[in-house]
């Protein structure tokens, strides 16, 4: 196989001095600490899971030979589609964590792919930790204070950024870590298509492929394959699809009754908003998900409308990227839908 020179990526795409010094701070903190907490966003996705598993491997490499413990705790369970990644069984959902009732004092709390504000119940665990680290690529990410803030808005994914941490620390990337990082990158870039995909992204992917991963098989397994129940969810999504503004605004929704009758699982909805996005005339698409106490709203934009800003305008705790963002809103599904669609419709005109 064609091999790129070691450190090829960092030579061509050096980290900015600020991100480099924040990363060095992070590596020093890992050396000093013995007990680690890693968490990520409320809803686990390919990027958040991949980055967490890779960060855990990074800590193990740095701490090799010394005593330490790592706990990865997320609000939600690892979606089934990622349950082949090495180490996934070490990730606790909040329910599993509270059941375990382990008394543990963490020295270092690491949050990736979103700030502590977005970790749900896990946020409480961070309160008593002295040193916190953010590894993220989201604009409008987190307003909290961190001992090290590794925030790179030019990264396609948290996983791409985590690759650079390995590179800077000169830690060899194993095949298992390469699989986790590759899945995160494929997930966040939509198979290297979204706007944050750069030549650097491809070079990082090339380095990961060099470890011998079966990228074709794992990306089908993690991203494209659907369970039959997920296909039924997609069927409902297509059935509920509506267009406004000459099909520049496309929307759809799922009700609690849909979930009840289909009996789908958490990860089944993942990526389905893309089916709305693939409408040629669409400028912005919205997916509404009815939940017990609120409505989850996800946006994708082709660029004219900054949906991160729009999501923040609806709920200050919302956010994301210019082209992909989301928020939660209180109220009845029908009310939330008409309010959001009216506002967006006016924006498009």
Q: Which residues bind Mn ion (CB under 5 A)?
A: 47, 113, 157-158, 188
Beta strand extents in 81-234 (DSSP E only): 91-93, 108-112, 131-136, 148-151
Work out the number of other CB atoms within 10 angstroms of the CB of residue 15: 19
Residue closest to Mn ion when measured from CB atoms: 47
Task: With both helix axes pointing from N to C terminus, report the angle between 158-169 and 46-62 in degrees, rounded to the nearest 10.
Answer: 10
Please state the closest distance from residue 198 (CB atom) to Mn ion, in A. 15
Q: What are phi and psi of 152, to 5 degrees?
A: -130, 105
Please state the closest distance from residue 136 (CB atom) to Mn ion, in A. 8
H-run or E-run covering 80: none
Q: Nearer Cβ to Mn ion, position 188 or 268?
A: 188
Please state the closest distance from residue 296 (CB atom) to Mn ion, in A. 17
Q: Nearer Cβ to Mn ion, position 35 or 154?
A: 154
Q: Nearer Cβ to Mn ion, position 153 or 256?
A: 153
Q: What are phi and psi of 126, to 5 degrees?
A: -75, -20
Q: Nearer Cβ to Mn ion, position 33 or 48?
A: 48
Please state the closest distance from residue 122 (CB atom) to Mn ion, in A. 17
Please state the closest distance from residue 241 (CB atom) to Mn ion, in A. 26
Task: With both helix axes pointing from N to C terminus, report the angle between 46-62 and 17-32 in degrees, rounded to the nearest 10.
Answer: 60
Residue 104 three-state SS: coil
Q: Nearer Cβ to Mn ion, position 139 or 348?
A: 139
Q: Nearer Cβ to Mn ion, position 22 or 283?
A: 22
B/e letters for 69-102, b = 16+ CB within 10 Å, e = fewer, are ebbbbbbbbbbebbeebebbeebbbbeebeeeee
Cα 285 from Cα 242, distance rounded (Å): 10
Please state the closest distance from residue 41 (CB atom) to Mn ion, in A. 8
- Dig out the tokens for 284 from the structure: 């912005």
Q: What residues contact 218, with CB distance under 8 A and at least 6 apart?
A: 84, 179, 182, 183
Q: Nearer Cβ to Mn ion, position 132 or 137?
A: 137
H-run or E-run covering 61: helix 46-62
Q: Nearer Cβ to Mn ion, position 49 or 122?
A: 49
Please state the closest distance from residue 72 (CB atom) to Mn ion, in A. 16
Q: Nearer Cβ to Mn ion, position 146 or 253?
A: 146
Please state the closest distance from residue 158 (CB atom) to Mn ion, in A. 5
Long-range contacts of 151-154 (CB under 8 A, 24+ apart): 151/19, 151/22, 152/15, 152/16, 152/19, 154/196, 154/198
For residue 55, what are the CA distances in angstroms to 13, 39, 324?
21, 10, 25
């Amino acid at each position: 196989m064609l091999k790129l020179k070691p450190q090829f990526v960092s030579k061509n795409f050096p980290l900015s001095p600020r991100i480099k010094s924040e990363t060095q701070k992070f590596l020093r903190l890992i050396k000093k600490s013995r007990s680690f907490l890693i968490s990520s966003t409320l809803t686990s996705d390919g990027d958040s899971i991949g980055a967490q598993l890779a960060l855990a491997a990074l800590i193990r490499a740095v701490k090799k030979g010394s005593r330490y413990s790592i706990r990865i705790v997320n609000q939600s369970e690892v979606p089934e589609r990622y349950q082949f990644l090495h180490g996934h069984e070490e990730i606790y959902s909040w329910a599993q964590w509270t059941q375990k009732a382990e008394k543990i004092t963490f020295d270092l709390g690491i949050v990736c792919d979103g700030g502590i504000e977005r970790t749900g119940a896990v946020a409480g665990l961070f309160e008593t930790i002295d040193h916190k680290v953010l590894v993220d690529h989201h604009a409008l990410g987190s307003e909290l204070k961190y001992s090290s803030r590794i925030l790179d808005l030019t990264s396609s994914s948290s996983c791409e950024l985590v690759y650079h941490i390995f590179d800077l620390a000169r830690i060899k990337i194993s095949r298992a870590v390469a699989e986790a990082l590759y899945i995160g990158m494929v997930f966040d870039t939509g198979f290297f298509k979204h706007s944050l995909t750069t030549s650097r992204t491809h070079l990082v992917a090339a380095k990961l492929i060099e470890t011998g991963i079966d990228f074709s098989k794992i990306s089908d397994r993690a991203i494209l394959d659907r369970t039959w129940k997920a296909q039924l969810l997609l069927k409902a999504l297509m059935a509920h699809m509506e267009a406004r503004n000459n099909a520049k605004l496309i929307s759809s929704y799922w009700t609690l009754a849909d979930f009840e009758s289909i009996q789908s699982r958490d990860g089944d909805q993942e990526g389905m908003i893309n089916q709305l996005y693939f409408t040629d005339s669409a400028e912005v698409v919205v997916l509404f998900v009815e939940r017990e106490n609120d409505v989850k709203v996800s946006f994708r934009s082709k660029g004219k409308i900054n949906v991160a800003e729009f999501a923040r305008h609806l709920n200050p705790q919302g956010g994301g990227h210019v082209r992909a963002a989301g928020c939660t809103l209180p109220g009845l599904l029908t009310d939330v839908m008409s309010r959001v669609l009216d506002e967006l419709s006016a924006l498009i005109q």
